[in-house]
Amino acid sequence: MSDFKHFEYMAKHRYEQVVYFYDKTTGLKGITCIHNTTLGPALGGTRLWNYASEEDAVIDALRLARGMTYKAAAAGLNLGGGKTVLIGDPETVKSEGYFRALGRYVQSLNGRYITAEDVNTSTKDMDFVAMETDYVVGLEGKSGNPSPMTALGAFHGIRAALQYKFGNEEFSKYTFAVQGAGQTGYYLIKKLVEAKAKKIYFSEINPKHIERMKREHPDVEFVEPKNYFGLNVDVIVPCALGGVLNDESIPQIKAKVIAGTANNVLLDEDIHGTMIKEKGILYAPDFVINAGGLINVYHELKEYNVGRATRDIEKIYDRLLEIFKIADTENIHTQQAAKVFAKKRIETINNVQDNYIKR
């Protein structure tokens, strides 16, 4: 028997709702978790994973939903945080019926939760979900691939970090090292090239992505992954995996700024957030700097307009400057400051809405 105390955990982190569902025809087994809907409907993708245990799945759903609350709040969106996890083998469970069954469970929440694709679910799968519910975003032919927009947001975030750290955001003065030239890394490197960065290095493990970079940007220099963190550059740009800022990598870092698209880059938020702060490195909190894709998809809920979405993504610049200031004023690390910033917005809007106004 597991000793995970569901309600104690929900009370501690102020969750609203956890829904379990099982479809007898397709074997769909999942959990939707809604963390907080103060700002609006909870939005978060559907992750399909072969979890080792049901408890692992619940904990993942809870953790990811809470992360979405902070991400949406810090991005200035009128969205709450939620997530769905499906328990199953991505190689075998998928079918039209499976995702239409999911769509019906999403619809049963009547707009309190909006889903999208995530790890092991695709826009094609979401097309089936959309046959049963309107509460799904990130569909083909609407806001499209989020990666260029995530990269665009990170580019504005890097500008903000340069401005705050060095008082100048002239890219030609700085050197950059990008980890991962996959979806977001590829588009971000393009932006850095266009901005005439002084020097760009990239590190990759996928030969196809290395080849593409060498072909399209011969001046962007490849560096072996083992030498990545020790590079003598101004900015480290993580665009690959989570957990890469840890006891081993941080002591090697010579850069003064860390800002990229990757999620959960701090292996331990507090320990490694503090280590980075103590080294005098400015770290742009992941869930703030990589919100471009989420902001873009949010615009799909209204009538999608690329100009409006792009302008909204640009605001990551001001938001990060505000967060860096909070960190300095309160003498806390920037990841913590980002949470202070997000919680403050939720609290403010909660209070603003406490009087009844007929619309």
Q: Is the dihedral angle over the CA atoms 6, 7, 8, 9 positive or is it negative?
A: positive
Can you tell me which of 184, 249, 335, 336 binds ligand NAD, judged by CB under 6 A? 184
Burial 6-34 (b: 16+ CB within 10 A, else e): eeeebeeeebbbbbebebeebebbbbbbb
Of 235 and 332, CB closest to ligand NAD:
235
Distances (CA, A) of 11 to 14, 21, 60, 64: 5, 22, 17, 16
User: Which residue carries 């400051």 as its tokens?
Assistant: 337
Choose one: 10-18, 173-181, 314-322, 340-348; the region binding ligand NAD (CB under 6 A).
173-181
- Please tell me whether residue 310 binds ligand NAD under the rule CB under 6 A: no
x/- mask, ligand NAD, residues 258-297, rule CB under 6 A, reads ---xxx--------------------------x--x----
Q: Is 122 in the site for ligand NAD (CB under 6 A)?
A: no
Tokens of 49: 């994973």
Q: Which stretch binds ligand NAD (CB under 6 A): 53-61, 169-177, 180-188, 191-199?
A: 180-188
Question: Is residue 239 a contact point for ligand NAD (CB under 6 A)?
Answer: yes
Residue 313 C-beta: closest distance to ligand NAD, Å = 12
Residue with the shortest CB distance to ligand NAD: 182
44 touches ligand NAD by CB under 6 A: no
C-alpha 258/C-alpha 222 separation (Å) is 19
Q: Out of 22, 194, 242, 248, point to the residue binding ligand NAD (CB under 6 A).
A: 242
Residue 249 binds ligand NAD (CB under 6 A): no
Binds ligand NAD (CB under 6 A): choice among 183, 249, 334, 335:
183
- 120 contacts ligand NAD (rule: CB under 6 A): no
DSSP characters for 181-213?
A: -SHHHHHHHHHHHHTT-SEEEEE-S-HHHHHHH
Dihedral (C-alpha) 248, 250, 253, 255: value to the nearest 10 degrees?
A: 160
Regarding 206 and contact with ligand NAD (CB under 6 A), the answer is: yes
Backbone phi, psi, residue 146, to 5°: -75, -15
Instruction: Answer yes or no: 71 catalytic.
Output: no
Among 26, 36, 150, 249, binds ligand NAD (CB under 6 A): 150
Residue 325 CB coordination number (10 Å): 13
Q: Single out the catalytic residue among 71, 83, 277, 339.
A: 83
With contact defined as beta carbons under 8 Å apart, do 333 and 277 qualify? Answer: yes
At its nearest, how many Å lie between ligand NAD and the CB of residue 209?
Answer: 4
- For 101, 210, 231, the CA distances from 260, given in Å and listed in that order, are 36, 19, 16
Q: Confirm if 198 and 358 have CB atoms less than 8 A apart.
A: no
**Residue 240 binding ligand NAD, by CB under 6 A:** yes
| Cβ-based nearer residue to ligand NAD, 87 or 154 | 154
Nearest distance in Å: CB 184, ligand NAD: 3
Nearest approach in angstroms of CB 178 to ligand NAD is 9
The tokens describing 182, both together, are 């996959």
CA-to-CA dists, residue 149 to 69, 146, 154, 155, angstroms: 20, 5, 9, 10
What CA–CA distance (Å, rounded) separates 273 from 164?
A: 18
Q: Is 182 in the site for ligand NAD (CB under 6 A)?
A: yes
Judged by CB under 6 A, the stretch of 24-32, 102-110, 129-137, 142-150 that binds ligand NAD is 142-150
Does the protein bind ligand NAD through residue 46 (CB under 6 A)? no
Q: With contact defined as beta carbons under 8 Å apart, do 222 and 211 qualify?
A: no
- The residues assigned a catalytic role are 83
Site of interaction with ligand NAD (CB under 6 A): 146-147, 150, 179-185, 203-206, 209, 225, 239-242, 261-263, 290, 293
